C-alpha cells in the first residue's frame, strides 16, 4: 500500500478515509506583541508542515516509524478563533467560539487552544511517535502544549460505518460530494479548501444506555442499533424520513429521536461531515470525540441548540470539552500551511 499523499489542495486529515486511531494535540502561542506572535505562528506552521510531511512520507527518518503505506498517517492543522482575532489573521468570517449550551460541563484544560493538530493512522504506535515529533517541532518554534486526546475506532471493513460505544453505527448520514462542496468546504476564494472543525469530548453513560430495552434504544436514536437502518426505512443509507407517520398518527422516527432533531430538514439542508472517534480515559470516563467539519460553526450551534433542549440521547451524554479550529487549506510540496492567513 502507498502512503496517503500529504500534499494537495485540501488536508488529508479531512479527505482521506477515516483511520482506526486518532490523536489530537492542542497548542497555545504565548502572548507578546502581535508582530512577534505572527512571526512565531509562521515558524510553528512551518515546523509542523515539515515534520508532518516527512512523517507521512514513504521513508520517514525516525527509525521507529515504518514507511507511509504501513502507517497510513494523515494529519490536519488548524487555527483557533481566539488566535485569529488576536493576530488579525485572514480566516473565514464565520470562524468564532461556540456559545455555551445547557448541560455543558466543559473542562478548560481539555478545551480550546491556538493551534490544533489532528493525527490519524492505522495504529496507536505511529500516533505516539508522530505526536512526539510534532510536539518537539512546535515547541522549538515557540508553541506551548495545551492538551492532547487520543481516540480509536473498531476495525471495520472499508466503506462500512464504524460503531460507537453505544453500539450504534455512527457516521452514516454524511454529505455526498455535492453537499460537502456547499456545506463543508469554504466559500469560493482564499478559504475554499479550508473547513472548520468542531470538536466535542462527550462523556457517554454506556451502562445506562445499555440498560434500556432494545426497542427503546432504537427509538432514542431513530435507527436500529443492529444494522443502522432508520426506523422509517429498509437500508442503512436510506435518508431518515422525519415526516413518516404510524397508523395512530405518531411519528415513525419519534419526536425526540436524535436523528430527527439533528436532521438537515430543520436547517435548510445544511450538513456537516462527522468523523468521530471513541475515547477511553478510564472506567468512569468513556465516550465520543465528536469531530465534525463544516463551513460555518453556526451549523453546529443550530443542531446542538435543538439537541440540548430535547434529544432523547441527552440524559446519557455530558459534553466535557470543546474546541473550534479553522482547518487550513492543504499545501503544495514547496509550500507551508497558512499562506492564506497573512494577506
Ligand atoms: C446522527 C450518535 C452527538 C449531530 C447520529 C447517529 C448516531 C449518532 C448513532 C445516526 C447514524 C448517523 O447518521 O451517523 C451520536 C452520539 C453522540 C452524538 C452517540 C454523542 C456522544 C451529536 C452531536 C451533534 C450530532 C453533538 C451535533 C450537534 C448528528 C447529525 C446526524 C447524527 C447531524 C445525522 C442526522 C441525519 O442527517 O440523519 N448521531 N451523536 N450528534 N448526529 Fe449524532
pLDDT on residue 95? 98
pLDDT on residue 2? 79
Q: What topology is assigned to 163-330 in CATH? A: Alpha-Beta Plaits (3.30.70)
pLDDT on residue 124? 95
Each residue's pLDDT tens digit, 289-308: 999 999 999 999 999 999 99
Q: How far apart are CA 327 and CA 68, in angstroms?
A: 22
CATH number of 1-88+103-153: 3.30.70.1030
Say yes or no: do domains 1-88+103-153 and 163-330 share a fold.
yes
**Joined grid coordinates for residue 235:** 437500508
Domain range summary for the chain, segments of one domain joined by +: 1-88+103-153, 163-330
pLDDT on residue 1? 73
Neighbours of 247 (CB within 10 A): 5
Pocket of ligand 1 (CB under 6 A): 164, 166, 168-173, 200, 202, 204, 221, 223, 240, 258-259, 262-264, 272, 287-288, 290, 300, 303-304, 307, 317
Q: Looking at 170, 218, 296, 311, which residue is catalytic?
A: 170
- Residue closest to 323 by CA, chosen among 13, 37, 24: 24
Ranges in the chain, pLDDT < 70: none
**Joined grid coordinates for residue 317:** 451524554
Q: Residue 267 catalytic? A: no
- Residue closest to 126 by CA, chosen among 250, 301, 4, 254: 4
Amino acid at each position: 500500500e502507498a502512503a496517503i499523499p500529504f500534499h494537495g489542495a485540501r488536508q488529508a486529515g479531512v479527505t482521506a478515509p477515516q483511520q482506526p486511531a486518532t490523536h489530537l494535540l492542542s497548542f497555545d502561542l504565548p502572548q507578546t506583541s502581535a508582530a512577534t506572535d505572527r512571526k512565531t505562528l509562521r515558524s510553528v506552521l512551518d515546523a509542523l508542515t515539515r515534520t508532518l510531511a516527512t512523517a507521512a512520507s514513504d521513508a520517514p527518518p525516525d527509525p521507529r516509524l515504518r514507511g507511509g503505506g504501513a502507517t497510513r498517517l494523515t494529519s490536519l492543522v488548524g487555527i483557533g478563533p481566539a488566535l485569529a482575532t488576536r493576530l488579525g489573521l485572514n480566516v473565514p468570517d464565520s470562524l468564532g467560539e461556540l456559545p455555551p449550551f445547557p448541560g455543558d460541563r466543559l473542562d478548560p484544560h481539555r478545551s480550546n487552544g491556538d493551534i490544533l493538530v489532528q493525527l490519524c493512522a492505522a495504529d496507536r504506535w505511529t500516533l505516539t511517535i508522530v505526536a512526539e515529533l510534532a510536539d518537539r517541532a512546535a515547541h522549538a518554534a515557540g508553541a506551548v502544549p495545551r492538551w492532547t486526546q487520543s481516540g480509536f475506532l473498531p476495525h471495520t471493513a472499508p466503506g462500512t460505518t464504524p460503531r460507537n460505544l453505544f453500539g450504534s453505527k455512527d457516521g452514516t448520514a454524511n454529505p455526498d460530494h455535492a453537499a460537502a462542496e456547499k456545506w463543508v468546504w469554504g466559500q469560493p476564494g482564499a478559504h475554499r479548501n479550508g473547513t472548520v472543525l468542531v470538536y466535542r469530548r462527550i462523556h457517554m453513560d454506556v451502562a445506562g444506555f445499555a440498560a434500556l430495552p432494545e426497542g427503546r434504544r432504537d427509538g432514542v436514536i431513530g435507527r436500529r442499533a443492529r444494522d443502522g437502518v432508520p426506523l422509517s426505512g429498509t437500508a442503512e443509507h436510506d435518508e431518515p424520513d422525519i415526516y413518516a407517520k404510524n397508523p395512530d398518527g405518531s411519528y415513525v422516527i419519534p419526536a425526540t429521536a436524535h436523528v430527527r432533531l439533528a436532521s438537515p430538514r430543520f436547517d435548510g439542508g445544511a450538513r456537516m461531515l462527522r468523523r468521530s472517534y471513541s475515547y477511553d480515559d478510564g472506567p468512569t470516563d468513556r465516550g465520543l470525540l465528536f469531530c465534525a467539519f463544516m463551513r460555518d460553526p453556526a451549523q453546529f450551534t443550530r443542531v446542538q441548540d435543538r439537541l440540548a433542549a430535547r434529544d432523547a440521547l441527552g440524559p446519557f451524554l455530558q459534553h466535557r470539552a470543546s474546541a473550534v479550529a479553522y482547518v487550513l487549506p492543504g499545501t503544495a510540496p514547496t509550500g507551508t500551511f497558512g499562506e492564506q492567513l497573512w494577506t
